[in-house]
Amino acid sequence: MTRLRLAIVGAGPAGIYAADILLKAERRFDVSIDLFEQLPAPYGLVRYGVAPDHPRIKGIITALREVLDRGDIRIFGNVRFGEDITLEDLKQHYHAVIFATGAVRDTDLRIPGIDAEGSYGAADFVSWFDGHPDVPRTWPLTAESVAVIGNGNVALDISRMLAKHAEDLLPTEIPDNVYEGLKASPVTDVHVFGRRGPAQVKFTPLELRELGELRDVDMVVYDEDFDYDEASKDAIASNKQVMVIDRVLQSWRKRPSVNNAGGEASRRLHLHFWAKPVEVKTDEQGRVSAFVYERTRPDGEGGVVGTGELREVAVQAIYRAVGYFGSPLPGVPFDKRHGVIPNHEGQVLKKDSNERVPGVYATGWIKRGPVGLIGHTKSDAMETVRHLINDQGSWWQPTDPSEEAVPALLEARGVRWTDLDGWHRLDEHEVALGAPHGRARIKVVPRDEMIAVSRGE
C-alpha cells in the first residue's frame, strides 16, 4: 500500500476538515497527517475570530474536537511556518503540504485620514477581545461615539461588543483583561455605516436579530434609508434571508428610538445605509474627530452611485470591518492583489503563470479569499483533497518520511511545540478557571503561559 505523509499548515476549520476528509475517504494509501499551527491552541478563527457571546457558532468546536480526539492526526502547536519549520524542511519529510492559513489581516480602506490615531482594523480588535496571545493586552476604549465601517457579520460583532454592557458578557469565555477594558468604556453611541441599502447587507438574520436583544441599548434606524427601489423590493420578495432581515429592520422602525426620537437606553446603536466612506477628520493632535460619508443611491443594476451629498458624524474612534486579507508565506507563491495563494481548485500555481507547483496545495480562505461561512470550508477542502490524491505522480520524494524525524528536528531547534495532549491540558485548565465563576471557561491569554500549561511545565 502506498504511504502518504502529509503536512497541513494551519489547524483551523480548513486544515482540520482537509485532514478529516482525506482520512475518511482514502483507502488506497496509508495516510499519516501532521498539522502545524503557529498558536499553542487549535481551531483558528473559531477560537480567535468569533465573538465570545456566540456559543452557537462556537459549537462547531465540538465537531472539530471529535476529529482531533480520534488520535489519527498529530498536532504541532506553537510552530511558526517559515521560522521554526520551512518549506524545504517539509519537502524532506512529507510527500505534500496543504496550506490552510486563512486570512487574518484587515483589507485596506483607502480614504484620507484612515491612519489617524483612533482608527483601527476589525481583525486587530477581534483578536484583542478573543484573547489572541500575539496582540496587546489593553485596548484604548476611550471614545463616547464610535463609527464602524462595513455591513458584514464582523461589523455587527464589533458593534455588539462595543455597545453591549460588559457584565452581560460575563457568562461567556471573555478574558478578564477584556472584561475590565469593556467595563471601563465610556461609549454611548455606535454608528454602523454601509455603502448599499438594507436589502443588500452581507450579515445574516441571526446576527442582526441578536443586536436588537441587547440590554439597555436602543436600535436606531432612519426612515430615509427605506425608500426601496424595484431591485430591493424584488430581493425582499424572492430571497427568504433578505425578507427576514427586512422584517427585523421594519420592526425596529416602530420602536420609539427610531430617528433618535426618544429612546431611553443609556447606549444607542445606529444603522446608517447608503453611506460611502469619504474621509476621516482629525483634531489638532491627529486623533479621529469625525467620519465623513457621501449619501449613495441605487444605480438600478445592483450597485450604487454617489449623490454628491456629504454628511459628517462626530466620532472619536473608527473601526474598519471591510473584509479580511491573506498574508504571504515564505517560499510560497502569493497574489498580492487578492490576498490568496494562486491556485487552480487548490493546486498551487507559480506566480503569474498557470504552471503548477508540485506537492503544494491550498484550502480555505487562503485559497479562495475570505468569503463564505465555515460550512463552505468542507466542500472547499474536498476539492483540494481530490486533486492531491489524483496527483500522486507529482508528490515530493522525501529523504526521511519517518514520523520521528519532525519531533527530532523541532527539538534540535529548541522549539517549545505543543501536542494534542498539551491542548487537552490547556483546555481543562481554562475550563477549571471558569468553573468557580459559573463560566464556560476563562481563556489563558499570554503565549508563554499557554505553552507552560500545555507542556506541563
The 10s digit of each residue's pLDDT in 302-311 is 789 999 999 9
Q: Per residue in 154-181, pLDDT tens?
A: 999 999 999 999 999 988 889 989 999 9
Region of 190 on the Ramachandran plot (φ > 0 left; ψ -120 to 50 alpha; else beta): beta
Q: What are phi and psi of 187, to 5 degrees?
A: -60, 140
Q: Per residue in 224-252, pLDDT tens?
A: 999 998 889 999 999 999 999 999 999 99
Q: Per residue in 399-441, pLDDT tens?
A: 999 999 999 999 999 999 999 999 999 999 999 999 998 888 8
What is the rounded average pLDDT of the residues 126-134? 95
The pLDDT of residue 300:
79
Domains in the chain and their CATH numbers?
2-104+326-417 (3.40.50.720), 106-324 (3.50.50.60)
The pLDDT of residue 351:
83
The pLDDT of residue 81:
97
A 10 A CB-CB count for 198 gives: 24
Q: Is the pLDDT of residue 41 over 80?
A: yes
Which band of pLDDT confidence, cut at 50, 70 and 90, is reported for residue 258?
low
What is the rounded average pLDDT of the residues 340-369? 93
Would you say 127 and 161 are in contact if contact means Cβ atoms under 8 Å apart? no
The pLDDT of residue 439:
86
Would you say 37 and 79 are in contact if contact means Cβ atoms under 8 Å apart? yes
Q: Closest by alpha carbon to 109, among 319, 368, 367?
A: 319
The pLDDT of residue 143:
97
| Mean pLDDT over the full length of the chain | 92
DSSP 166: G
HEC secondary structure over 304-323: EEEEEEEEEEECCEEEECCC
Q: How far apart are CA 73 and CA 20, in angstroms?
A: 9
Which band of pLDDT confidence, cut at 50, 70 and 90, is reported for residue 327?
very high
Strand partners, 31: 4
Residue 396: C-alpha distances to residues 23, 86, 104 (Å): 19, 15, 29
Q: How far apart are CA 120 and CA 364, in angstroms?
A: 25
Angle between helix 60-69 and helix 420-434 axes, rounded to 10 deg = 140
Q: Is the C-alpha dihedral spanning 76, 77, 78, 82 positive or negative?
A: positive
